[in-house]
Amino acid sequence: MSAFSEDEFAKKLLALRDTHESISGLSSWCLEQPQHHKKIVSIWLQVLKKVKIEQRLALFHLANDVIQYSKRKGFEFVESWGTALQKATTMVRDDKVKNKILR
């Protein structure tokens, strides 16, 4: 496993597409980095603030995938993502995207 790089992770987030393959691939990568869960969530929130509204849905799908898997495996991402998701949902004003996220 290579060393965790904040810049590389940010690039991965920017390249994320709203497809099952893209989301599950990056989700798996995140879950392989449990010792960096706080950095991962922090960078996720920073990137979410920068991207266009259309890409935010893919980022929320990524967060959901990581959280769901973490719940089953007992990883620490669940708590880390709690506050970040509260902040992030206020950044989504587009009704179509907001309804999909709140589901």
What confidence tens digit (pLDDT) does each residue in 52-88 have? Answer: 888 998 999 999 999 998 877 766 777 777 778 777 7
DSSP-derived letter for residue 75 is -
N-term to C-term CA, the chain: 35
With 0.85 as the threshold, say if the pTM is over it.
no
Residue ranges and CATH numbers for the domains of the chain are 6-102 (1.25.40.90)
Tell me the two tokens of residue 28.
């798996």
Question: Interior CA angle at 34 toward 28 and 36, to 5°?
Answer: 110
| Mean predicted lDDT score pLDDT of the chain | 85
Q: What is residue 90's three-state secondary structure?
A: coil
